[in-house]
Structures are given as structure tokens and as C-alpha cells.
């Protein structure tokens, strides 16, 4: 029996646009609620959200098969990546990639030897169904989807090198950090930023990789979907909840 199929990864390679939502509140009930709303993928945010290993595990269980969970790690630390894979994560989003060398090490972190450096212990963990998937070790690599975040000018300068690396499945452009790095803190819709974003997305897709983006601006996200960007996050649990609560309160002056 092989490792479970990663349908999210298959859809990326098929060029199908998948709509996602950021889950940052760190509670499995929120993840469970969002799962029932029809999103293709959900980001469990370990970079800015209050999510440790057990928090992520609880949310993976809450999501189940209802949507595809994408775990954003806090950084590219190999030990953290190993743990996230062992608890059953199949798609990782790794932030702040700034060079080809950094991207190559990320690839090594998600693959078993001899191609990579992932520690061999998952047969004792959730990833292999606690040992019930006998072919896990020989089939897991093909089902891991590695997404890298490029989100500053240094990363953009290294983008062609990053795109040349096999086993990098997709590149996510982080507009908020990129805007800040370009001198437009809090304004990712700035024209200069959007020109850089559009150029990067085009280069990613031309290189045969999947391109991804997050925006709560519906006009921008509609444009990304229309262009066929492969994975588009259209908001966050925090943003949606805050917006709805604000709107409800304003309706009772």
C-alpha cells in the first residue's frame, strides 16, 4: 500500500486553479468550520499563527479529507519540517526563501535519502498511519508537495535559480512582505508592487512551476483566477471574522 495520493499536487500539475483560505487562529474548530465551506485548500499558518506541532496536528485531524491542508512552517528549519511531515503533512509552504541554495536545502529536507535528508521515523507516526502503510517510505517522496515563498527583492533576484531546481513544485509570492521590502508597508496594491508580482507570477508559470498568491482584495484575486494562477488564497479566517463582526456591529448604531 503506497502513501496517500496528494490530489492538490496533481491538480497543480494539471493547471487547475485551486481556491484557498488562510487559517491563522490556531483552533481546530475554525479549521473544521472552514473545511465545510468548500475551499480547495487551507493554510495552517505556523509562521504568524499561534501554531505549535500539536496545534497543527489537531487541525490536520479537524480538516481530514474535506479540504487539502497546506502547512506553513515558521521557517526552513529541517527539524521542524521533518516533524510536520511525520504528523501527516503532505504539502508544505516554506517562507522567506531568498536563494537557490536555500531552496535546494528545502528540497533535501522533504525527501528521504539518498536524494534528501529527511529523517527516517515516519513509520512510527501519523504520516504512515502509524505503520499501517507498508510502502510509505518508498512512495512518500512523490506525494510531498513543496511550495516556497518568495517575498522580498532578494528572493525575486534569485527567482530564476530557484525555479531551476527540480522537486520545487510551486512558488508563492508573498505580497505583504514584498510591499514592505519595496517601501510600501501595508500597501501591497501599490502599482510598483503589483508590477513586480505580475512579473514574478509570469516567470514562475513560464518555468513550468505552479504559481500562488494571497490577497483579500477581491478585484485582484478575481484577476489572478482569470489568468489561471494555480493556487490563490482569497482571504483569512481572521479577516473574514473581523469583517463580519464589524459589519454586524455597524448595523446596530
Q: Which residues are catalytic?
A: 48
- Residue 25 near residue 161, CB atoms below 8 Å: no
Q: Which three cell numbers stand for residue 115?
A: 536524494
Closest among 50, 38, 18 to 238, alpha carbons compared = 50
The H helix count followed by the E strand count for the chain is 12, 8
d(CA 50, CA 139): 32
Contacts of 230 (CB under 8 A, 6+ apart): 11, 12, 15, 16, 17, 18, 170, 205, 210, 211, 212
d(CA 162, CA 140): 23
Cis check: omega of the bond before 114, within 30 degrees of 0: yes
Closest among 120, 166, 169 to 147, alpha carbons compared = 169
Amino acid at each position: 500500500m503506497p502513501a496517500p495520493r496528494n490530489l492538490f499536487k496533481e491538480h497543480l500539475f494539471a493547471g487547475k486553479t485551486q481556491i484557498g483560505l488562510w487559517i491563522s487562529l490556531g483552533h481546530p474548530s475554525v479549521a473544521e468550520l472552514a473545511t465545510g465551506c468548500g475551499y480547495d485548500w487551507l493554510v495552517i499558518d505556523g509562521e504568524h499563527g499561534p501554531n505549535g506541532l500539536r496545534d497543527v496536528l489537531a487541525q490536520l485531524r479537524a480538516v481530514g479529507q474535506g479540504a487539502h491542508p497546506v502547512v506553513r512552517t515558521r521557517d526552513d528549519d529541517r527539524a521542524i519540517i521533518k516533524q510536520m511531515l511525520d504528523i501527516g503533512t503532505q504539502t508544505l509552504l516554506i517562507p522567506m526563501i531568498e536563494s537557490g541554495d536555500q531552496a535546494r536545502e528545502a528540497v533535501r529536507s522533504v525527501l528521504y535519502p539518498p536524494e534528501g535528508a529527511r529523517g527516517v521515523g515516519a513509520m512510527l507516526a501519523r504520516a504512515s498511519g502509524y505503520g499501517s502503510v507498508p510502502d510509505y517510505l518508498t512512495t512518500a517522496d512523490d506525494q510531498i508537495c513543496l511550495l516556497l515563498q518568495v517575498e522580498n527583492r532578494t528572493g525575486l533576484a534569485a527567482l530564476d535559480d530557484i525555479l531551476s531546481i527540480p522537486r520545487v513544485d510551486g512558488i508563492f509570492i508573498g505580497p505583504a512582505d514584498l510591499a514592505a521590502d519595496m517601501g510600501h508597508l501595508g500597501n501591497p496594491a501599490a502599482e510598483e508592487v503589483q508590477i513586480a508580482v505580475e512579473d514574478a507570477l509570469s516567470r514562475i508559470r513560464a518555468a513550468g512551476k505552479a504559481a500562488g498568491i494571497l490577497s483579500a482584495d477581491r478585484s485582484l484575486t478575481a484577476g489572478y483566477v482569470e489568468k489561471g494562477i494555480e493556487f490563490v488564497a482569497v482571504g483569512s479566517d481572521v479577516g473574514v471574522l473581523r469583517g463580519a463582526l464589524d459589519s454586524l456591529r455597524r448595523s446596530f448604531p
